[in-house]
Structure 1
Amino acid sequence: MTQSLEDYIEAIYILSRETGYTRVKGIAEKLHVSRPSVIQALKHLSENGFITQERYGYIHLTETGKQTATQVLKRHQTLTQFLITLGVSPEVAEKDACRIEHVVSQETMNTIEKFLHSQTKPKKRK
């Protein structure tokens, strides 16, 4: 899946959680792209089994689409939290995480998750 399609599937997932539904207009507004761009991306997502769409209506993630979207969103949230932990401002961390999430290896993600988990464990007192 391309970086662009990952952004679309993540946007569909977030919008459906926030509003209960997803439409082309909402995706275009969220991603700051044109409606024709959204329609083209939706065609690819549908052909690959990630979404279903009612004609001129709501967009729904398939089970595969939901799994993919949650993985993309988790990477995004983990990277954002990691960058904030390092001292990056939340605004910059959010933007950078969006770029990094598409190229980071699974090994690096696992290491970042372990690091963040170790930071949230209560420290033992002597």
Structure 2
Amino acid sequence: MKLHASGEDYLEAVLVLQKEKGMVRSVDVARHMGVSKPSVCHAVSTLKEGGFLTMDGDFFLRLTDVGREVAEQTYEKHCFFTRLLVEAGVDPKTAEQDACRMEHVISPESFQKLAELYQKAHPNTDPTGDGRQFHAKTDPAD
């Protein structure tokens, strides 16, 4: 199942919230993303059908292996582009918004090349700015 940008955004939100809170429910995702609970319920249903998410008996959301991979790749791109834009002098709020759009449209190959170029120019800097090792991969949702 090919994901749309909104599906990637929901997976990324679950990942970020899991890092912050440990356990995540739909209401947490709605608050985090500024969307309605019915919108989250629809997205969760679609993502469950696609094998990206599960929901346990207590209504906690969990990423499947493929869901986690998509979420981590999306988050990695988001962090990279936010950092790059802020370093270029873009206002952080604008950089965050632009990065959210850029993370969905760039091909894995182009992202890999940009990240490699950044690493060559900044060899002792984490290109994502989040302390994780950079790993650009092909899209596991294809």
TM-score, normalised to structure 1's length? 0.90
- Paired with 2:108 and 2:61, the residues of 1 have a C-alpha distance of 29
Shift of 1:115: 2.4
Structure 2: gaps spanning 5 or more residues: 125-142
Aligned mates of 2:83, 2:120 — CA distance in 1:
13
1:110 deviates by: 1.7
C-alpha contact 1:82 1:112 (8 A) present in aligned 2: no
SS, match of residue 102 in structure 1: helix
Cα separation, 1, equivalents of 2:7 and 2:118 = 28
Partner of residue 110 from structure 2, selected from 93, 105, 108: 108
TM superposition outliers: structure 1 runs of 4+ over 6 Å = none
| C-alpha contact (below 8 Å) 1:76/1:101 kept by paired residues | yes
Q: CA RMSD in A?
A: 1.4
Partner of 2:47: 45
Which residue of structure 2 aligns with residue 65 of structure 1?
67
> How big is each residue's C-alpha offset from its partner over 1:88-107, in whole Å with a ceiling of 9 and x where there is no partner?
12221111000111111223
* 1:55 Cα deviation after fit: 4.3
Is 1:80–1:94's contact at 8 Å kept on the other side of the alignment?
yes
Aligned length: 122
Task: Give the % identical residues.
Answer: 36
Q: TM-score, normalised by structure 2?
A: 0.80
Structure with the greater relative contact order (CA < 8 A, sep ≥ 6): 1 or 2? 2
Which is helix-richer, 1 or 2?
A: 1
Instruction: Pick one of 31, 34, 50 that aligns with 1:32.
Output: 34
- Deviation of the 1:81 alpha carbon: 1.5
Alignment pair present for 1:88 and 2:79? no
Deviation at 1:70, TM superposition (A): 0.5
Q: Equivalences for 1:109-124 in 2 at 5 Å?
A: 109-121=111-123
